[in-house]
Structure formats: C-alpha cells, structure tokens
C-alpha cells in the first residue's frame, strides 16, 4: 500500500515530504523490530519493559522503509512523527487491512469474570443461527473450525486488525471477543467497530496494574464509550449486568441503547425463578419477546448471569427464542470452567479457572449447595500479579472448605514460597484446616489419596491452562490430566 495514502488515516505532527513518501510502498506494518522484513513500516511503541524507539535502527537494518514515532529517531529513512503511537498503530493497521471490523458483527465482552464463558455461549448461539463465527479470548482464537494459539486474552491492535481482516476474508459473520482491562488501557482495541459491548461484573483483580478499583472500572468503561454516537440505520447496544455495583459507570459511558440484565430487579432480560441442582440449572428468562425456559448442565448461580448476558446480545440481534434455548441447552460446558474429572471414582473432582477472590467465592458457594461430603480446595495465586488478592483468595478457600491445600499456581518470576506466605501469613498456623504443599502435583496427589466417599475436591486457578510458569519458564502441566492420572493410580493401588 502506498505510504502517502496510508498515513492519511492518522494524525501526524511533522510536515512530510509528499514526493518522497509517495514513492514508498509499504508491504507490512510491524510494531516489533524482530518481525520487520523488507518494505515494512515500523511503528515505535513505548512499552512497559522497553521503548520501541530504541529499536528503530534495528528495524531499518531489517528492511523498514519508514518509521512512525512519537519522538525523533536517528535513522536514514523517513520518520513520521505522531502525537500518539498507540492511536497511530490502530489507525494505520485498521486502514492497511481495509477496516475489517466494519464488515462483520463484532461483540466485545468486558468484566472481571465470565468473559470466556460468555464467548462460548455466544459462539454456540450464532453458530446455531447458521452463521460463521470467530472467537478471540483467553483459551485461544477460533476462526470457523480452526484454532490458533494466542499470547494475550486480547491481543494488540496490529494482531487484531490483521486477524479481523483474515476473518472477513474467510466470510465470518460474527466475531465474539473478550476485551481485557489491560487491552482497553493500552488501546489494543482502538478502531474496532463494535456492534455490542457487554459488561459482566467487576470485582478485585489486577490491582498490580490498575492503581485502584476506579481506574480498573474506568478502563472497562472505555469499551462502552467506543460504541460511539447512535447512527441512523445502525443499532448498537450495551448489554449490562445492572446487579453489579459498577454497572452505572458503564451505563453512563455510552450513548447507545442499554439492554440491562438482572437476577434481582426489573430489567430488559430478567429471571422469573431459578433452581440450582447437582445436575445443573433450570430457570425461566423473561424477555420483551417472551419467556424462555432454560435447563442447562452448567452449574452455579453465576452462570445464570452469563446466560442472561448471552440472551441480551442474541435478543438485540433478533435471534429467535427457540434458537437461543436450543443453543444454550446443547452447550456442554467450557473447558476448565467447573470441569468435572470423572474416572468413575466415588468422590468428585472439579477443575475451575477461578483466580480472583470473587470467582473463588462463587465457585465455592456453588459447591456448598451441591456437596454431600467434605470439601477439599487446592489453590494458589499467580506470581507477578495483584498481591493484595492473595490473602482474600486464601480466606475464601478457608471459609468454604473443610480442608485447604495451598500450592503454586504460575509463580512466574516470583519466589513460590513468598507467594504462599502472602496467602497464608495471616492464618492461624496451628489450625489443621490447611496445609502448604508447594508442588502442585503433590498437592493434587495428597487431596486425591485422602478423599473419602462423596467428598468434593476443587482444583482452582488454572482451568484450561496446559502449562505452569516457574521462574519464567513454561513446563507442561494440566490440572485435568494430572488429576485423572492420580485418580486412576489410586484406583490401581
């Protein structure tokens, strides 16, 4: 693409010599010098670890034909100065790839918990309608039947516009994506033309990155602001859980119509009555188009919220009540979310991705309603992440379990002992209520070897993850595989 044409899509600072840059054809846009090839346009991004401006020279050596930067860099190719590299990256990538999100339905989901679960619900509903769908989220990226691994829950703007383009080329109708607060604060989703934005809930997480809860809520609200002004002929909506304390922040951030959902008060999408049982949930959802009785194998009151959110989006898109019901009832569950490990043992083993105080409380309260024996919880906290959630997660585990085994999650670059100390130092050491077993495998083995008939073991925090990050190195580790192997080993012994 011609560089002169391309830069018309963003705001620049310096006067550009039109004749020079009109001669440059850009073969790719890159934000990482290691990816630059001959003919690339390199955008210097100031990161949290390094400053991309320091890599401009390397990018030119690799073949970059021009540089986009926020400050002058000493290279012998044209340098286009911009007021914001974050905006320039989004504008240029969006233009380079032909504004791909405008040609598809794009649904953005934000909130502390429930995003991944909701992507699975919406994928099931839009697939049931007969649409081709794509999903971008924590587990992976899915385009039709293809699954592509991702590093971040919400990737950077360049990756997003590039892959949205690919999705449009592959005739995807609807893209469902998780939008993390990191992504919103770092401008990773700028330029995406969202049709709907969903707010699930807000509770403590990421206070290593956000200085306080208001900053975290403000970041989430940016998704609702990005829906823009209502346009004639195009209906957009904000689907919002009004039972959450922070819902007002989201409601006030958007000019689009609000589809509220609630379990407790009057809302566009609400619940008449619900029943939680060991076999799942059953409840009646009231919508302006009529009632939908739902029976699902998904467990936990919190999943009613996820289902209401899905119904809110589907309702906005005119999906029939029958299709909504059928898609939700067929969904077997989400990998690593309340996933039962069943090898015909006489005790229950649940693997769940709860890694925040609120999600851990939710999953344990669900277990409280389903249990028939003792509850044994295995839990740890990730390293290089919010330290203040550690004692709170420990308290949640202690409050609802007969026994807790504190263990390692992903220590990353932190000392595993220090993380476990942060979790347990306020607890009474003499209590025989908890143990600390640093090795996750040994912790799972201890729980399985000692489980009695009808006991329930919760292995929390890692869900679908297939690795454990120790000292910055990833080793293969899957709670589900390890639990199954140890259950079978106990049966043989």
Ligand X SMILES: CC(=O)N[C@H]1[C@@H](OP(=O)(O)OP(=O)(O)OC[C@H]2O[C@@H](n3ccc(=O)[nH]c3=O)[C@H](O)[C@@H]2O)O[C@H](CO)[C@@H](O)[C@@H]1O[C@H](C)C(=O)N[C@@H](C)C(=O)N[C@H](CCC(=O)O)C(=O)O
Ligand Y SMILES: N[C@H](CCC[C@H](N)C(=O)O)C(=O)O
**Binding residue ranges for ATP:** 111-117
By CB under 6 A, the residues from 422 to 451 that bind ligand X are none
Helix (H, G, I), strand (E, B) or coil at 282: strand
DSSP helix/strand/coil, 212: coil
Going by C-beta distance under 8 Å and a sequence separation of 6 or more, which residues neighbour residue 398? 404, 427, 433, 434
Residue 52 is classified by DSSP as G
Choose the one of ligand X, ligand Y, Mg ion, none that binds residue 300, judging by a C-beta under 5 to 8 angstroms depending on kind.
Answer: none
Of positions 45, 66, 197, 486, contacts ligand X by CB under 6 A: 45
CA-CA distance, 431 to 64, in Å (whole number)?
Answer: 63
**10 contact, one of ligand Y, ligand ATP, Mg ion, none, CB 5-8 Å limit per kind:** none
Least CB distance to ligand ATP at residue 278 (A): 17
Q: Does 32 bind ligand X (CB under 6 A)?
A: yes
Return the one option of ligand X, ligand Y, Mg ion, none that residue 15 interacts with (CB less than 5 to 8 A, by type): none
Residue, CB closest to ligand X: 47
Closer residue to ligand ATP, CB minimum distance, 165 or 385:
385
User: For residues 165 and 143, what is the distance between their CA atoms, to the nearest angstrom?
Assistant: 11
Instruction: Tokens 């956000």: give the residue.
Output: 210
152 versus 257: smaller Cβ distance to ligand X:
152
| SS3 label, residue 308 | helix
DSSP annotation of 347: S
138 binds Mg ion, rule: CB under 5 A: yes
* Ranges within 84-123 binding Mg ion (CB under 5 A): 115-116
Spatial contact of 384 and 491, defined as CB atoms under 8 Å apart: no
Where are the strands (E) in 47-140, listed by range? 66-69, 79-81, 105-110, 133-136
Q: How does strand 174-178 pair with strand 133-136?
A: parallel
Task: Please tell me whether residue 377 binds ligand ATP under the rule CB under 6 A.
Answer: no
With beta carbons less than 8 A apart as the criterion, state whether 63 and 37 touch.
Answer: yes
User: Least distance (Å) from ligand Y to the CB of residue 461?
Assistant: 5
What six digits make up the tokens of 270?
A: 């609400």
Q: Pick one of Mg ion, ligand ATP, ligand Y, none as the site partner of residue 359 (Cβ within 5 to 8 A by kind).
A: ligand ATP
* 275 phi/psi in degrees, rounded to 5: -135, 130
Binder among 117, 154, 174, 348 for ligand ATP (CB under 6 A): 117
Which residues in the 370-399 window bind ligand X by CB under 6 A? none
Q: Per-residue contact track with ligand X, 51 to 90, x per CB under 6 A? A: -x--x-----------------------------------
**Given 50, 284, 340, 489, the residue binding ligand X (CB under 6 A):** 50
Residues that bind ligand Y (CB under 6 A): 153, 355, 382, 385, 409-410, 461-462, 465
């Amino acid at each position: 693409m011609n560089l002169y044409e391309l830069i018309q899509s963003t705001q620049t600072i310096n006067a550009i010599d039109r004749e020079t840059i009109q001669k440059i054809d850009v073969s790719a846009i890159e934000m990482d010098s290691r990816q630059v090839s001959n003919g690339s346009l390199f955008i210097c991004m100031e990161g949290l670890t390094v400053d991309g401006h320091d890599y401009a020279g390397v990018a030119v050596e690799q073949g970059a034909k021009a540089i986009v930067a926020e400050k002058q860099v000493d290279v012998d190719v044209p340098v286009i100065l911009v007021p914001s590299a974050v905006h320039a990256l989004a504008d240029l990538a969006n233009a380079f790839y032909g504004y791909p999100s405008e040609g598809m339905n794009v649904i953005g989901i934000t909130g502390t918990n429930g995003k991944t679960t909701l992507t699975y619900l919406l994928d099931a509903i839009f697939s049931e309608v007969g649409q081709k769908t794509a999903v971008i989220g924590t587990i992976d990226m899915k385009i039709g039947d293809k699954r592509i691994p991702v590093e971040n829950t919400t990737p950077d703007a360049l990756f997003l516009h590039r892959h949205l383009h690919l999705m449009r080329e592959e005739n995807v109708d609807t893209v469902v994506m998780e939008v993390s607060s990191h992504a919103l604060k770092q401008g990773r989703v700028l330029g995406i033309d969202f049709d709907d934005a969903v707010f699930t809930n807000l509770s403590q997480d990421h206070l290593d990155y956000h200085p306080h809860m208001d900053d975290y809520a403000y970041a989430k609200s940016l998704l609702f602001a990005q829906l823009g002004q209502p346009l004639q002929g195009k209906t957009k909506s904000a689907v919002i859980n009004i039972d959450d304390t922070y819902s007002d922040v989201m409601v006030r951030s958007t000019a689009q119509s609000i589809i509220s959902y609630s379990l407790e008060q009057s809302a566009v999408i609400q619940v008449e009555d619900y029943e939680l049982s060991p076999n799942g949930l059953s409840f009646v959802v009231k919508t302006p188009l009529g009632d939908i009785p739902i029976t699902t194998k998904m467990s936990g009151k919190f999943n009613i919220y996820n289902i209401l959110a899905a119904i809110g989006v589907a309702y906005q898109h005119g999906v029939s009540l029958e299709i909504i019901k059928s898609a939700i009832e067929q969904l077997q569950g989400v990998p690593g979310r309340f996933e039962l490990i069943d090898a015909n043992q006489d005790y229950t083993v649940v693997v769940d991705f709860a890694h925040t105080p609120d999600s851990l409380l939710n999953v344990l309260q669900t277990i409280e309603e389903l249990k028939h024996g003792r509850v044994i919880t295995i839990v740890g906290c990730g390293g290089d992440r919010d330290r203040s959630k550690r004692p709170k997660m420990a308290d949640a585990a202690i409050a609802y379990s007969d026994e807790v085994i504190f263990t390692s999650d992903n220590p990353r670059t932190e000392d595993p002992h220090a993380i476990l100390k942060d979790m347990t130092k306020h607890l009474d050491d003499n209590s025989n209520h908890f143990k600390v077993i640093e090795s996750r495998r040994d912790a799972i083995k201890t729980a399985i070897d000692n489980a009695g008939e009808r006991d329930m073991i919760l292995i929390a925090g890692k869900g679908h993850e297939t690795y454990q990050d120790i000292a910055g190195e990833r080793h293969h580790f899957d709670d589900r595989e390890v639990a199954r192997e140890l259950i079978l080993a106990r049966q043989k012994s």
